[in-house]
Amino acid sequence: MKDLKNTAPPEKQEEINAAVETGSQADVDEIMKKFDRESNVRPWEGTPGMVVKFSLALFSLFMIYMNLFTVWDERIRRPLFLGIVILFVFILFPARKSGGRPQKVNHIPIPDIIIALAGSGSFFYFVINNRTIIDHATRITTLEIWLGVIGILVLAECCRRVTGIPILVVAGCFVIYAFSTGNHLDTLEGWYKILRKVIYNLFYTTTGVIGTPVGVCSTYIVLFIIFGAFLEATGIADFFIQCANCIAGSASGGPAKVAVISSALCGMVSGSSVGNTVTTGSVTIPMMKKTGYPGEFAGAVEAAASTGGQIMPPIMGAAAFLMAEMVGVPYSDIVVRAILPAVLYFIGIFLMVHLRAKRLGLKGITRENLPKAKQILPKIYLLIPLAALVYLIVAGYTMSRSAILATLLCIVVSMFDKDHRMSPQKFVNALETGAKNTLSIAVACGIAGIIAGVVTMTGLGQFFISAIVSVSHGNLMIALFLTMLCCIVLGMGVPTTATYIIMATTCAPILTTGMGLNSICASMFVFYFGIVADITPPVALAAYAGSAIAKSDPMRTAFNATKLAIAAFLIPYMFCLNPAMLLIDTTAAEFGLIIVTSVAGMYAIAAALEGYMLTVLNPFFRVVLLAAGLMLIYPGSLTDIIGTAVVVAVFIVEIGMRKMKATS
């Protein structure tokens, strides 16, 4: 999903692209290599390249085999998984960015080979001597201590190469705290005891590096990533873009609405904000600029909409699987409860681009340049794997088996399209893509497991709970605000999956244990504020990718994306204050009322931020509408009545003002 996709655009797309200044493949590659470590990989060509490709494909097949046919102990599966991941990270990722200089082809430095073998060897030693180490318990030997140290340090180096420094800084602070809890640190024996305790808990138990995050990654996430790679190979991204064009392309400011709809649909599959931005943005951003949207706004629309892919069921950036495991509810529950907040997020963006189009007087794409429904409907079979996946999970199949069966269906449906037919080469490419996309998540899960392990070992979570509860004096709104700040700071520059693990370990217990909030609400709250870094300056990778295609200023694009994604900052408060939004303790009538008031509130806020309803709004009306919108999304009959009355009153005034302008 990191490459610029050659998705089939609507008719006349080449003319649209030629008429506006947009970024090329090279522009996107350059900015991705600058900001995104996952895009900075070693070049492999010829026979060595084929060896690497087939090795990655075999890794994907091995993960399918391990999950479908084996019943190995988790303390064998997880370190084996990480040991293989470490080898591939050193094969694919150099020690530092190229800095514009071409990297040596088919080359790994000798130090990298030594470090890779040492790090993976530490995990493989655990696999081979699993029973002996378990019998040792806390009495691990000096050799086992140093192997644990090497394994953790090499995993940290992998994380630095793949995801960057921020998560390592967070993890390092937690490890330092773990060492500070030791006794007699003024003696060598005291240091040895605390070192053995820390290494045992973080490396050799299922509460540290090989904890729940790595377990979920090796069991569920990797299979769904492989499924996403095969589904992408069927050409479904192009199908979604064509559907969005057919639905909204001719409307006012149509291309921006196409971007929102297509990103929402593609987000169900990819769960990657950057990948979604590059895939759909290569088609939608040129169309938006051609229509008349400024480059900063066009790139921001695509970035904000694509970031919503991480909250869009059923994939949700792989966090849905972790959430189900950590909260202790079925995965299907998480998916169902996440639907309304995700839809509201996209409605918020859709309303803002609609009002911006009306304010600028922008038109849509002419109908003769848009695909017709009769051209799209014959390809509706592409939805079969996605529909089957949801059905299998709801029907009670395990997530692993559901993902594998849905992947097989991807191969079957691809045979109906000669352009996307699953040839042996495409089959291997999909397996390779799945393995590559797993590496960053696996490494991040391992490092996040260290943070979770320290919290479990030291009881640090109780300190966070006491601190927030004390400062908030038991007020939920204050506790939510303080938790939000913690999430944004701790999640800055950290991948989505790792961010959720950190938040669920350190911040969610504040709301559940300290404030009595429902565990699903708390997990969703911290998750939402963990993902906004992809569009929030200074760490706004999705916005930077959008700016590369739009040829716009990256920082201005990021600020525009943050404004468009205002719903991501409001919706978490909405469902924490009113859990009925997540289908918790509610009736059909209450849920229907929530939908109506929430959409009305999002409309009022969008109008206030864009400064337009039916005419250009003056500053007073913008402030009034913003207040009314917040009242509508705040649960309570009185606030709903006041908010509705204010919005209706402003709307009536706007009708009168539009009539006056029309007659003048």
- CB-based contact 570:633 (threshold 8 Å): yes
Quickly count: other Cβ atoms within 10 Å of residue 305's Cβ: 37
Cα-flanking dihedrals φ and ψ of residue 485, to 5°? -60, -40
363 strand-pairing partners: none
* Higher-confidence position of 140 and 5: 140
Question: Would you say the C-alpha torsion 46, 48, 54, 59 has a positive or negative sign?
Answer: negative
How does DSSP assign 404-422, residue by residue? HHHHHHHHHHHTT-TTT--
Q: In Å, how far are 163, 464, 492 from 496, measured between CA atoms?
A: 11, 22, 10
Query: Length of the chain, please?
Result: 664
- CB-based contact 404:223 (threshold 8 Å): yes
- CB-based contact 629:604 (threshold 8 Å): yes
Among 572, 569, 466, which Cα is nearest to 524's? 572
pLDDT of residue 115: 96
pLDDT of residue 394: 80
Question: If you average pLDDT over residues 493-501, what whole number do you get?
Answer: 75
Q: What is the mean pLDDT of the chain?
A: 86
SS3 content of the chain, % helix, strand, coil (to 5): 75, 0, 20
Residue 377 burial (10 A CB sphere; 0-12, 13-18, 19+): exposed
pLDDT of residue 89: 96
Residue 491 burial (10 A CB sphere; 0-12, 13-18, 19+): buried
pLDDT of residue 33: 60
For residue 267, is pLDDT > 80? no
What's the CA gap between 143 and 454, in Å, rounded? 22
pLDDT of residue 520: 92
Distance of CA 637 to the CA centre of its chain: 35
pLDDT of residue 648: 94
What's the CA gap between 659 and 664, in Å, rounded? 9
For residue 494, is pLDDT > 80? no
- List the structure tokens of 185: 């640190």
Distance of CA 126 to the CA centre of its chain: 32
For residue 265, is pLDDT > 90? no
- CB-based contact 230:335 (threshold 8 Å): no
Residue 616's SS3 state is strand
Q: Tens digits of per-residue pLDDT, 556-592?
A: 998 988 888 888 889 999 999 999 999 988 888 889 9
Residue 536's SS3 state is strand
Quickly count: other Cβ atoms within 10 Å of residue 368's Cβ: 9
- CB-based contact 527:500 (threshold 8 Å): yes
* Higher-confidence position of 643 and 463: 643
Q: Tens digits of per-residue pLDDT, 186-213?
A: 888 889 999 999 999 999 999 999 998 8
**Could you check whether the bond before residue 554 is cis, i.e. omega within 30 degrees of 0?**
no
What's the CA gap between 543 and 273, in Å, rounded? 9
How does DSSP assign 474-516, residue by residue? T-HHHHHHHHHHHHHHHTTT--HHHHHHHHHHHTHHIIIIIT-
What's the CA gap between 623 and 610, in Å, rounded? 12
Convert 172-204 to b/e letters by CB count within 10 Å (16 or more is b): eebbeebeeeeeeeeeeeeeeebbbbbbbbbbb
What are the structural domain ranges in the chain?
Answer: 587-664
Task: Measure the CA angle with vertex 119, ends 118 and 122; round to 5°.
Answer: 85
Cα-flanking dihedrals φ and ψ of residue 612, to 5°? -155, 135
How does DSSP assign 210-273, residue by residue? TSHHHHHIIIIIHHHHHHHHHHHHTTHHHHHHHHHHHHHTTSTTHHHHHHHHHHHHHHHHH--H
What's the CA gap between 570 and 559, in Å, rounded? 17
For residue 432, is pLDDT > 60? yes
Question: If you average pLDDT over residues 599-623, what whole number do you get?
Answer: 92
pLDDT of residue 201: 93
For residue 47, is pLDDT > 80? yes
Q: Is 184 left (phi over 0), alpha (psi -120 to 50) or beta?
A: left
DSSP structural state of residue 507: T
What's the CA gap between 347 and 355, in Å, rounded? 12
Among 449, 560, 364, which Cα is nearest to 81's? 449
- CB-based contact 494:502 (threshold 8 Å): yes
Kindly report the pTM of this predicted structure: 0.85
For residue 45, is pLDDT > 80? yes
What's the CA gap between 52 and 42, in Å, rounded? 11
Convert 346-367 to b/e letters by CB count within 10 Å (16 or more is b): bbbbbbbbbbbbbbbebebbee
Q: In Å, how far are 364, 406, 483 from 588, measured between CA atoms?
A: 37, 32, 31
- Range with lowest mean pLDDT among 322-326, 383-387, 617-621, 630-634: 322-326
DSSP structural state of residue 20: S
- CB-based contact 627:602 (threshold 8 Å): no
Question: If you average pLDDT over residues 483-500, what whole number do you get?
Answer: 76
What separation, in Å, do the N-terminal and C-terminal C-alpha atoms of the chain show? 53
Which are the contacts of 132, defined by CB distance < 8 A and separation ≥ 6? none
Question: If you average pLDDT over residues 130-151, what whole number do you get?
Answer: 90
- List the structure tokens of 35: 């900001």
